[in-house]
Chains A and B, each alone.
Chain A
Amino acid sequence: MLAIGLLLPLVLQDYLTVFGTRVLILCLFALSFDLVWGYSGIMSFGQAVFFGSAGYGVALLARDLDVTSMLLVIPAGVLIGFAIALLIGGFLLLGRNPSSVIFVSLGTLTGSYAFDRLARGWYYLGGQNGIPSIPPMHIGSYDLTEGPVFYYFVLAILLLVYLGCRFLTKSQFGLALAGLRENEQRIAFFGYKVQHIKAIIFSLAGAIAGLAGSLYAFHEGFVWPNMLGVVMSTQVVLYVLFGGSGTLIGAVVGTVVIEIVSFWLSNNYQDIWPIILGCLMLLVILFRPAGLVSLILSERERIGSFGRPPKVDDKERDHGAA
């Protein structure tokens, strides 16, 4: 898959490379949601808040303060996503008694809706139209505009984040996340500081969403209220659900497949494509509730196991005995 990703811009027409870059950025966004939901079982239906806020944040930096240096805006986007997630997470997730799934999902959803309305209504943020014509970000004297270079830049970031997430979810901390997802109350009795784990993973995912949002803003050259809203938040749920939640590759596959299919459908069936897409997704979710990746990965691999295969040890012991 990486090889395909690397070669694509060489064979694709320019406008398709731009499309490809957008999809990669959305993959990044999907990873952030997968961490909180797929791995940790936190129902965040407002992941777009972090994505969009970071987008708006960097857009304002560029518009009002003329800050477009990549070395400033990208960390700024990450920081915005992180900070807002920490704030919202602190409000919704922490507190002595574990908050119910309904509370968290409705709370995040409402947050997403509120941020969307706020952006639409606030003149400073450009109201309905958002903030247009954001200047490109630059590093040194080089302007990063859409095209193959931007594509490779995003691909590199996606790869790094992917590997980072992989390291995290395979670490012993990843096992703690699995425990959180399976039975939050129970693992507190093992000594886990459940609230801390939640705060860490939620704000980390917020940071990744912020990274994606700031890349998106500069890639598209504008931000608009939908980036913050319920539609965007739901979209990322679908990417992950469709691809297979709780696997990193599932988040990527889900995003790529949904985006490509909708791109193709919208070109060929201009009127009814959303319905076709909806039916397709429904079919997958009905017949493959574990998502597309369940076609290639077994249940065991999906849930993952943190121990080394015990088989090897059995043999060793047998040798020792013999």
Chain B
Amino acid sequence: MALLEARGLIKIFGKLTALNGAELVVQPNEFHGLIGPNGSGKSTMMKCIAGAEVPTEGRVTFDGRDITTASPAERARAGMSLKFQITSVLPALTLYDNVLLALQGQTALSKLMFSRTRGALHDKVMAMLEQFRLVDRAGEPAASLSHGQQQWLEIAMALAPEPKLLLLDEPTGGMSLEERRVTGELLAPIKARCSLVIVEHDLDFIRDICDRLTVLDGGAVLDTGTIEQIQASPKVQEVYLRRA
């Protein structure tokens, strides 16, 4: 059974139809790339899946549950985690606190007040920071990081609660080549634990890490399939050539 199924998504902003029957199916442990020209509705699709927007029409099922109208918190608790296109770490808090905040987000509030698990969480937080090469700066406010590092921090935060599905909207935007390469390395090992939907403009990056691709154009799916199928797809060729 698919982990995520978004069917017939329509999202209308006033007069503008951002999504027009878009679909996305993601299997467990699959890395799925979402590509398409600017304004084709990729971010809107991610938001409908994550709960930041409610689709005008259509259904989203996740892990066997219909979550079309579920709140963001309910989706997070069901095992969904995300990084928006616009980086939104909490700049005034330290890196450590940012990760801890993400890590404890699903814990009952009463437990947060009288927590006895700080020690175990501490090790987890440090391990996440270590993994994303940020451990030396754990005590500094997130605002002091470079843009690229903030994105790493946000990925670390998204991964901390061990989600079943990770949604990343342009995680390498504004990164140097070297940073991009490292990001790819950092993402590769999580395949054993969760699925990924990633929006990226860097097609080489996508090709390196993804199993399948979905191409959006004008709010609808142009084509979907394995990397090879998409590369060979005449429809996709046409759109990308037309714009290039």
Contacts and interface: CB of A to CB of B under 8 A. Distances in A.
Nearest to A168: B113
Interface in A35-56: none
A179 interface: yes
A96 interface: yes
Task: Bin the interface of chain B by size.
Answer: 35 or more
Given A182-B92, A196-B109, A311-B139, A175 B97 contact: yes
B138 interface: yes
20 contacts: A171-B112, A171-B115, A172-B111, A172-B113, A172-B115, A175-B97, A175-B104, A176-B101, A182-B92, A188-B71, A189-B72, A189-B75, A190-B106, A190-B161, A191-B76, A192-B73, A192-B105, A303-B141, A305-B94, A310-B96
A314 interface: yes
Interface string A161-182: 0000000100111011011001
A305 B113 CA distance: 16
Interface stretch (B25-33, B118-126, B211-219): B118-126
Interface in B102-143: 102, 104-107, 109, 111-115, 118, 121-122, 125-126, 135-136, 138-139, 141
A314 B134 CA distance: 12
B73 A194 contact: yes
A168 B75 CA distance: 27
Contacts of A187: 101, 105
Given A176-B104, A186-B90, A314 B97 contact: no
B50 interface: yes
Most chain A beta-carbon contacts within 10 A, residue among B51, B72, B118, B125: B72
A216 B96 CA distance: 42
A261 B102 CA distance: 44
B82 interface: yes
- 8 smallest CB-CB distances across A and B, nearest first, come from A190-B105, A307-B96, A191-B76, A310-B138, A191-B105, A191-B106, A173-B112, A172-B112
Interface string A283-322: 0000000000000000000010111111101100000000
B235 interface: no
A188 B82 CA distance: 11
A171 B100 contact: no
Contacts of B100: 172, 175, 306-307
Nearest to A313: B126
Interface in B77-99: 77, 81-82, 88, 90-94, 96-97
B122 A308 contact: yes
A171 B93 contact: no
Interface of B: 50-52, 71-73, 75-77, 81-82, 88, 90-94, 96-97, 100-102, 104-107, 109, 111-115, 118, 121-122, 125-126, 135-136, 138-139, 141, 157, 161
Contacts of A308: 122
Interface in A192-215: 192-194, 196-197, 200
B112 A303 contact: no
B97 A306 contact: yes
A314 B136 contact: yes
Contact of A171 (B114, B126, B138, B157): B114
A11 to B, nearest CB: 39
A35 to B, nearest CB: 13
A200 B138 CA distance: 30
Contact of A307 (B92, B106, B138): B138
Interface centre among B102, B106, B157 (most CB of A within 10 A): B102
A190 B76 contact: yes
Contacts of A194: 73
